[in-house]
Structure 1
Amino acid sequence: MPASMAAVRLPGDSTVEHVRVDVPTPGPGQVLLRMRASGICGSDIRAIYREHLGHGAEAYQGVVAGHEPCGDVVALGPGVATLEVGQGVAVYHITGCGSCAECRIGYPIGCTSSTRAAHGWQRDGGHAEYLLAEAVSCLPLPDGVTHVDGALVTCGFGTAYEGLLRAGVSGRDRLLVTGLGPVGLAAAMLGRHLGASTVIGLEPHPDRAAMARDLDLVDVVVTDPADLADAVGDATGGRGCEVSLDCSGNAGARVAALTHTAARGRCVMVGEGGRIDFAVSDLLIHKQVALHGSWVTSLGHMAELLDLLARWGEHPERIVTHRFSLAEAEDAYAVAAAGASGKVVITWDDA
């Protein structure tokens, strides 16, 4: 094992800093992973790369970047009996206290303790050659699920899956996805597998709209919001979609999702940031719509999704458009920040 390793930090102002840091040693209950794939998330761009928010769950503490890690176990700390050296694992990227109400039900993302720490935000993340992780946060990759698949599940696909579960998507439902960036593409892909009879996407960027069409993830793609009413009306006989999922964080797209949710339908918002203003009586109360907020996913649902991907023979890495080495991290972040690509991933070897 080398004494030091290459790593990337994000000092803000749309810059990337290459550093060398010590390779950590796993303590009790911990494992050391050799990184194989580490994704770049929209939250990294919005809250760290461009400008440090510096508060709450998104308070960046100057650590190694990257909260979508997947790698191979290379060393076990004392007391770890659930994993083996050489095993590929995806890492649930938040370490909780383990005893608060949210942690007890498997949602460390909502941990209320001051000790809560997320990889890439408050503890070192996956944009390095090695990663120190808690064994309890490491989920083995099923046969057929790649390291890149696993990295995408740790945040974006997990977030989409949780939102779809919150809405109870099934074959009875037509699904509207507003925003076809990486999380929206994930929602469309998984929504089909969960049985949505029709998937409609709203995405104004032509490259992302074209990608959704080319991958056959949606039945109808709308690029002009002014055309959405006709598209949803034609697809649903004027009723609206039983389920809508906003993955954009854009105020107009959020209102569009609510507007085109059918009476007694379910609208879920997973896109971070921003604000929204809408006519509560018209869009929510009188239509009796259930409006949900959904934040990442649980350990249990993340494990469930990994298993389902293996059973379905599905690969999240289908939405990856750009792969970079760690040495090319500056280019990787610039591409992700441009907002025109599919998923951008830093990879090692043949991940």
Structure 2
Amino acid sequence: MKGVFLPGDFTAVVRDVEVPAPGPGQLLLRVGASGICGSDLSYIYRGHKTHVGQDGPAYKGVVAGHEPSGEVVEAGPGCRRFGVGDRVIVYHIAGCGLCPNCRRGYMISCSDAKRRSSYGWQRDGGHAEYILVEESTCVPLPEELSFIDGALIACGFGTAYEGLLRTRVGGRDDLLVVGLGPVGLAAAMIARGLGASRVLGVERSAERAEHARTLDLFDEVLIAGDTVAEALDEATGGRGCSVTMDCSGSAAGRGVAIRGAAEWGRVSLVGEGGRLETEVSDLLLHRQLTLYASWVTSLPAMEELAGALVRWGAVPQRLVTDVLPLEKADEAYRLADSGRTGKVCLVPALS
């Protein structure tokens, strides 16, 4: 089969690899779709970086891609929930299953460094025709949703959902989303489903801002810059938004999210990388703000989200601007790395 590897030099390489066989508790999936994530770009595609607290590069030279969904074609001994023909979304980390974080479904924070492994980072991922997964990392993909929908839920939508759940956003809230890449757009779609009364967006890229406007998810989209604070004051009557979320991962974007929060507001930080730089007394303490830092989501919340999207009639695939076959992985990664598109996905075949 074909699989995509990332040498760390701004290229993606397609190679022939063996189709794996499932062992106990494992499933072999025919991949339906596999998304390209911003963390793939920053930690693997541009150069193999090390995670904080980890020795050596985070990427171990495996088949890339940690946002897969697909159909079960073979189940190993001992599988109890899924069988041949089932459609599933893959939670992108396999943990030890025993530590407190794993028992809560947060395998992203598994405390056993020897047993924690991420698809597309430490074990073969979804940029291939087939992927071998642990049954314990799978949740059902509803029939109403496509494989591309499932790929988006596997990481970006899950990340946005968790960040919004932490803030308890609902019908009494207006939401400001800073950074309108795939995660920021997902946050807007989910917030609509959760009942947010108004959704504003801030984006520095004119192309991404225009794409966001076409989706009818935002009441207003503002361009980041020197006058964005004044524009936000005008848009909110000087009050700010009760909930804000930074998806940009930049110090400037986080500053906009904090500055744009109302008194007693809740600020969610989900964008990877960068620094948080803020004046404490006037911006945080005196305005009684609460800051939440959130990393991905839990396995139960991801399954919950898939069902909620169906109930809301929401279609994650609307956020996708480019779908390319595996053979064009290099072009797909260049598109995603340009920062001018929405979500980019790979599929084994376009037929």
DSSP 3-state at the match of 2:170: coil
DSSP 3-state at the match of 2:6: strand
Amino acid in the other structure paired with 2:331: D
The separation in 1 between residues aligned to 2:256 and 2:45, in whole angstroms, is 29
Q: Which residue of 2 aligns with 1:67?
A: 66
Q: Which residue of 1 aligns with 2:288?
A: 288
The separation in 1 between residues aligned to 2:19 and 2:349, in whole angstroms, is 19
Q: Which residue of 1 aligns with 2:206?
A: 206
Measure how far apart 1:262 and its partner are: 0.9
Q: TM-score, structure 1 length as denominator? A: 0.96
Q: TM-score, structure 2 length as denominator? A: 0.96
DSSP 3-state at the match of 2:44: helix
Q: Which residue of 2 aligns with 1:108?
A: 107
The separation in 1 between residues aligned to 2:213 and 2:284, in whole angstroms, is 31
- Greater mean deviation of Cα atoms: 218-227 or 253-262: 218-227
Q: CA contact under 8 A between 1:29 and 1:134: conserved in structure 2?
A: yes
- In the TM superposition, 1:314-329 aligns within 5 A as 314-329=314-329
Measure how far apart 1:350 and its partner are: 5.9
DSSP 3-state at the match of 1:225: coil
Measure how far apart 1:268 and its partner are: 0.6
- In the TM superposition, 1:196-345 aligns within 5 A as 196-345=196-345
Amino acid in the other structure paired with 2:70: G
Spell out, residue by residue over 1:160-218, the C-alpha distance to the aligned partner (whole angstroms, 9 max, x if none). 01101011100111100000000000011111111111111010111110111111111
Q: CA contact under 8 A between 2:193 and 2:309: conserved in structure 1?
A: no
Q: Is residue 2:176 matched to residue 1:180?
A: no
Q: CA contact under 8 A between 1:80 and 1:135: conserved in structure 2?
A: yes
Q: CA contact under 8 A between 1:202 and 1:225: conserved in structure 2?
A: no
The separation in 2 between residues aligned to 1:6 and 1:235, in whole angstroms, is 50
Q: Is residue 2:35 matched to residue 1:16?
A: no
Q: CA contact under 8 A between 1:173 and 1:242: conserved in structure 2?
A: yes
Q: Which of 37, 57, 73 is the matching residue for 2:33?
A: 37
Spell out, residue by residue over 1:79-117, the C-alpha distance to the aligned partner (whole angstroms, 9 max, x if none). 112112011111000001011111111100111111100
Measure how far apart 1:280 and its partner are: 1.1
Q: CA contact under 8 A between 1:143 and 1:310: conserved in structure 2?
A: no
Amino acid in the other structure paired with 2:67: E
User: Relative to 1, partners in 2 of residues 1:225 and 1:195: Cα closer, same or farther, differing over 3 Å?
Assistant: farther
The separation in 1 between residues aligned to 2:91 and 2:342, in whole angstroms, is 22
- In the TM superposition, 1:127-142 aligns within 5 A as 127-142=127-142
The separation in 2 between residues aligned to 1:54 and 1:227, in whole angstroms, is 36
Q: CA contact under 8 A between 2:266 and 2:291: conserved in structure 1?
A: yes
Q: Which residue of 1 aligns with 2:97?
A: 98
RMSD: 1.3
Q: CA contact under 8 A between 2:268 and 2:292: conserved in structure 1?
A: yes
Q: CA contact under 8 A between 2:89 and 2:140: conserved in structure 1?
A: yes
The separation in 2 between residues aligned to 1:286 and 1:31, in whole angstroms, is 53
**Which consecutive aligned stretches of 4+ in structure 1 deviate over 3 angstroms post-superposition?**
55-58, 348-351
The separation in 1 between residues aligned to 2:330 and 2:350, in whole angstroms, is 21
The separation in 1 between residues aligned to 2:68 and 2:102, in whole angstroms, is 20
Structure 1: give runs of 5+ residues left out of the alignment. Answer: none
Measure how far apart 1:234 and its partner are: 2.8
Measure how far apart 1:327 and its partner are: 0.4
DSSP 3-state at the match of 1:202: strand
What fraction of aligned residue pairs are identical, expressed as a percent?
56
- Greater mean deviation of Cα atoms: 49-58 or 141-150: 49-58
Amino acid in the other structure paired with 1:80: C
Amino acid in the other structure paired with 2:87: G
The separation in 2 between residues aligned to 1:123 and 1:232, in whole angstroms, is 44
The separation in 1 between residues aligned to 2:147 and 2:224, in whole angstroms, is 36
Measure how far apart 1:136 and its partner are: 1.2
The separation in 2 between residues aligned to 1:170 and 1:135, in whole angstroms, is 33
